[in-house]
Amino acid sequence: MGLVTVVVDANHRTWWSRESERRDPKPDVGRDLDHISWYFSAQISNCRLSSIAFMPCSLVGDQHCALSCAGQAALNGVAVSAGDAPSPKIEPAGPGLRVVVWEATQACDMKCVQCRVNSRPHRHPLELSTAEAFHLIDQVAKMKVSLFALTGGDPLKRADLLPIVQYAVRNGLQSSLTASTTPLLQRQTIFDLKQSGLSSLAIGLDGSTPQLHDSFRGAQGSYKRTLEAIGWCQEANLPLQINTTLTRRNFADLDNLIDLLIEKKIAFWNTFFLVPTARVQIGDLLTAEEHEAAFAKLYEASERVNFDIKTTEGQHYARFVAQQEAKQSSGRSKKTAASPLFDDKGLVFVSHTGEVYPSGFLPLPAGNILWEPLAEIYQYSPVFRTLRDSSQLKGKCGRCEYKAVCGGSRARAYAMTNDPLAEEPRCAYTPA
Ligand code: SF4
């Protein structure tokens, strides 16, 4: 073993210290790094290695581990050199990846009833740092996806938001941002985001009246602020997306809301079909028949409005559209069909701490971008491979002729049955 050189990946430090911090509420990062150094040098001494080479770390400011390890190794009589990092194995995006959603923070000053996360006013200490956010963007840029979407929480809670947006844009990423309509969202903020190269801004609107919207958002005055922000986006010429969560509370308001969105000249409308997570009450979920009625309204609207309609966790809308188009077979342009862009095929969700999930609503971790390339997680992790394989679907989704285009919401199936491959619990269709 005397002539063997060991290459140590200094990125390991990030994983190790973060894992320790998770276990220990008062982390001592220096102690953990010393522990790693001791561990490596002990292994090296035991193996009677002659030399050790340290890979340069790709994360800014994470050199401590390499230097500390090197010091320990030298004390043990091992020759130390700076090795070249093997070029990371970044692959093309893989089958159909179009969107990377990054939860920039879970901090938010609002307490919306349908919030996907248990938002809190303060940022989590293990949120990705600015350097780690740049590291994520570097990876996403290499994967050549159509959209890099920043979400929260409220990304405006991050002081480094503008530099992050600018970095993403400089790296060629079409970037969108979902913001909360709190006092942090000012007219100047919208102009600054536009100036930074942001492609579109998304804000929530859950009802056509102040009473209805404010009851969703848990804050009086939220409706007024939302309409103000819509006006500022028009002034700044920044394309606007409206996000609406459809529940039994606002289902009857859908026609009025569509009329309001037409009046406000928005660019995109993203309809979220509820998944029971965090604060969501199961009684708020639309029934299977109400999902069908909502799809009919979206489809009818898609033929007359000037904005694109997308769905989130409404995968069976793709089946509904296919059925309608089969009935009509001609005379309908492609543009009018809504796109299920934010549903879980072709999307990865990166959490505030770098964990990767198939969707923000499906808490099955597939890896972490801090120690594995995102492209590899998307292509090779068992979680993504399993969910891409529609032959593994169970129940009526498993025998459905639409499973390749639909497949149902895996997030809702998991939330309601604990099995991500179970049949969609809110689909009215019975396969032939
Ligand atoms: S049964 Fe499943 S795959 Fe078929 S349309 Fe319904 S949700 Fe989609």
- C-alpha 395 – ligand 1 centre gap (Å): 10
Q: What is the pLDDT of residue 281?
A: 75
Q: Give the ligand 1 atom nearest the CA of 403.
A: 3
Q: What is the pLDDT of residue 92?
A: 47
One-letter amino acid for residue 428 of the chain: A
- Does the beta carbon of 413 sit less than 6 angstroms from any atom of ligand 1? no
Q: Which residues pair with 339 in a beta bridge?
A: 310
316, 345, 391: which to mutate for ligand 1, most atoms within 8 A of CB?
316
Q: Which residues pair with 177 in a beta bridge?
A: 150, 201
One-letter amino acid for residue 97 of the chain: L
- Does the beta carbon of 388 sit less than 6 angstroms from any atom of ligand 1? no
Query: What's the CATH superfamily of 99-417?
Result: Aldolase class I (3.20.20.70)
- Does the beta carbon of 319 sit less than 6 angstroms from any atom of ligand 1? yes
Q: What is the pLDDT of residue 145?
A: 92
Q: Where are the beta strands (DSSP E) in 205-307?
A: 240-246, 268-273
Cα dihedral value 32, 36, 41, 42, nearest 10: 90
| List of residues 6+ apart from 134 with CB closer than 8 A | 60, 164, 167
Q: Residue 282 has what DSSP assignment?
A: G
Q: Residue 166 has what DSSP assignment?
A: H
| List of residues 6+ apart from 165 with CB closer than 8 A | 150, 175, 177, 193, 196, 197, 198
- Does the beta carbon of 414 sit less than 6 angstroms from any atom of ligand 1? no
Cα dihedral value 176, 181, 182, 185, nearest 10: 50
Q: Is the dihedral of CA 379, 384, 386, 391 positive or negative?
A: negative
Q: Give the ligand 1 atom nearest the CA of 407.
A: 3
- Does the beta carbon of 403 sit less than 6 angstroms from any atom of ligand 1? yes
Report the C-alpha gap between 322 and 241 in whole angstroms: 25
Q: Is 7 helix (H, G, I), strand (E, B) or coil?
A: strand
The secondary structure element, H or E, covering residue 131 is helix 130-143
Domain positions in the chain are 4-75, 99-417
Chain CA centroid to CA 427, Å:
25
Q: What is the pLDDT of residue 79?
A: 57
Q: What is the pLDDT of residue 108?
A: 92
Residue indicated by tokens 């929480």? 153
Mark residue 221 as left, alpha or beta (left: phi above 0; alpha: psi -120 to 50; beta: remaining): left
Report the C-alpha gap between 288 and 285 in whole angstroms: 9
- C-alpha 348 – ligand 1 centre gap (Å): 22
Report the C-alpha gap between 271 and 243 in whole angstroms: 6
Half-sphere CA count of 229, side-chain side, radius 13 A = 28
Quote the pTM value: 0.77
- C-alpha 416 – ligand 1 centre gap (Å): 16
The first and second tokens of residue 248, run together, are 């039994």
- C-alpha 429 – ligand 1 centre gap (Å): 6
Q: What is the pLDDT of residue 346?
A: 86
- C-alpha 391 – ligand 1 centre gap (Å): 13
Q: Residue 145 has what DSSP assignment?
A: -
- The reply to whether omega before 94 is within 30° of 0 (cis) is no
Residue indicated by tokens 């050549």? 144
- Does the beta carbon of 402 sit less than 6 angstroms from any atom of ligand 1? yes
- Does the beta carbon of 397 sit less than 6 angstroms from any atom of ligand 1? yes
Q: Give the ligand 1 atom nearest the CA of 400.
A: 4
Q: Where are the beta strands (DSSP E) in 279-431?
A: 308-312, 347-350, 355-357, 367-368
Each residue's pLDDT expressed in tens, for the chain with a length of 432 residues: 443 444 444 444 344 444 444 444 443 434 344 434 444 444 544 445 555 554 433 333 333 344 444 444 544 555 555 444 434 444 444 557 899 999 999 999 888 877 777 778 889 899 999 999 999 999 999 998 989 999 989 999 999 999 999 999 999 999 999 999 999 999 999 999 999 999 999 999 999 999 999 988 887 889 999 999 999 999 999 999 999 999 999 999 999 999 999 999 999 999 999 998 766 678 899 999 999 999 999 999 999 999 999 999 999 999 999 999 998 875 544 444 444 444 557 899 999 999 999 999 999 999 999 989 999 999 999 999 999 999 999 999 999 999 999 999 999 999 999 999 999 999 999 998
Instruction: Write the DSSP assignment of 21-62 as a string of letters.
Output: HHH-SS--HHHHHHHHHHHHHHHHHHHT-SEEEEEPPSSTT-
